[in-house]
Amino acid sequence: MIFHPVSNIKDKDEFIELINIYCRLVEVMAERNRMPVTNIKTISDSIVNELSDMGIITRVEDLSLLKKMLDKTYDRFINAVSFYINNSTVFGTLLDKLSNKKRASLQSREQNSDKPIVVDFFAGAGGLSLGFIDAGYRICFANDFEDVCIRTYKYNHPEIPSSRILQADIRKIVDNIPEYIKEDVDVVIGGPPCQGFSSANQQRIIDDPRNELYKYFIKAVTSLLPKIVVMENVRGMLKVAEQVVEDYRRISVEKDGDTYSYDVAYKLLNSADFSVAQNRERLIYIAVRNDVATKQGITPSEIFEQIELSNEQNERFPLRDALEAIKPLDAPRVKNQNEIDSETCGKKIDVNGYTGTDNEYLELINFNREMPIVYNHKARYVNDINYDIYKMLNQGDDAADPKIADIMPYAHRLHCFKDKYYKLIADRPSRTITAHLRMDCHSHIHPFQIRALTPREAARCQSFPDDYFFLGAYLKTYMQIGNAVPPIMAYKIATILKQYLS
């Protein structure tokens, strides 16, 4: 469920955020269709029923609690609900994600499907899951530690029961996996954080305490015994690649008279080869259970060969394609404006003046769907010095460029901060989108406009569809996007794997 009843609120901030999203979606659709949202004076039975279907109230008396909770937002929300009821055909399925009843219906259909079943550990905002879902899989359980990632994941995946999307430390749930996952799992996916890659270690690097979450991922695989495992990580994990292979090959489980083990292979893959408009190298591990490998006559190495062969047919898209067909923006020049919507600097939810299918890249990431609304397209604050730097740099220039030598704030540490400022090149795939963008975006300066990439533009570079909405504070949207697996990359890997799950 996306909503808890107002009489039993679990998280007031999340509740208020969802209410504001609902209001804004209605207002944007009203603006798009040039229809006014009128003020109503009485609460009709249809409004009460709609609020009940959404999961916000369980009885009429809860309206007083709702009014107290929302305060000045109450009238705005009730007017929005009334507008939706009277103009539901305008919305299609746009508001279904904000209705417990409609989510439950979707989840019931999904539960009764015969799709391959996936578990996603360290799911983040859901990029890897999205790729597998688009390829025809069903996620039965997802887990992450970050609250804001879970909120984004729940919102964008209404087909998954919220109770199966768990905010928790994997270390606290891995010993009780059967309590959370009661189905036979076809695929386990995830990207456990691994940070301790010092070559000076005198022990197995993968045993570094900073890498302990990886061990719990292996432990979860051992418990679930999926047919296939897909594990994603940063290029730096190459240092421990063979140690990871050893750990997978150590898995040996007796179950129902059979012994299960895994063959595993790894490959450094670049998202640009999967038609993602971004150079993003990631180390991918694929492990196949022994009985599946025998039955299907396949090895992980051969699967990688198929992936690379398939990539030869893929078109490569430049950054320019990801930045087309989206409203030009100005960077705010006053501090603390990131959360404030404006016509010139952007809005968290706004009318899309384009179709969402305006070029081949947008057709690909949006699966040929039209997008009436644009999300998370807000420019970031830039101070006077950085504005001048952004303006002076040409595409491909970085912090070492002599044009900015006299104003570059980090000139005395240029050996460390050469990439601190970088103007992206429009006719090449974007440089890697990283979670560091939450700190500053100087490394991803827009090639044509005097500002950094917006979260939506970064999400496009990651191949997220334009209707994938990142919840939470503005700067945290960059973190969610930068940590994600490109959905199109995941989709194409998942499509190849699917033939071996029959």
Q: Which residues are annotated as catalytic?
A: 194
Give the pair of three-digit tokens for residue 423.
């103007």
Closest CA to 231 of 156, 121, 336: 121
- CB-based contacts of 333: which residues, under 8 Å, 6+ apart? 381, 382, 383, 384, 387
- CB-based contacts of 59: which residues, under 8 Å, 6+ apart? none
Per-residue buried b or exposed e for 185-199, using 16+ beta carbons within 10 Å of the residue's own CB: bbbbbbbbebebbee
Q: Long-range contacts of range 40-49, CB-CB < 8 Å, 24 or more positions apart?
A: 40/78, 40/79, 40/82, 43/78, 44/82, 46/85, 47/78, 47/81, 47/82, 47/85
Alpha carbon distance 330, 455 (integer Å): 14
Alpha carbon distance 402, 358 (integer Å): 38
Ramachandran angles phi, psi of 418, nearest 5°: -60, -35
Q: How many other β-carbons are positioned within 10 Å of the β-carbon of residue 284? A: 20
Paired sense of beta strands 165-167 and 262-270, if any: unpaired
Q: Are 3 and 14 in contact (CB under 8 A)?
A: no
Q: Could you tell me the CA-to-CA distances from 499 to 139, 184, 248, 384, 495 in Å, in that order? A: 18, 18, 22, 55, 8
Closest CA to 135 of 496, 415, 379: 496
Residue 446, classed as helix, strand or coil, is coil
Q: Are 29 and 92 in contact (CB under 8 A)?
A: no
User: C-alpha 305: how far from its chain's center?
Assistant: 27
| Secondary structure, 3-state, 367-409 | CCCCCCEEEEEECCCCCHHHHHHHHHCCCCCECCCHHHCCCCC
Alpha carbon distance 128, 126 (integer Å): 6
Ramachandran angles phi, psi of 304, nearest 5°: -60, -35
Ramachandran angles phi, psi of 192, nearest 5°: -65, 135
Strand partners for 375? 349
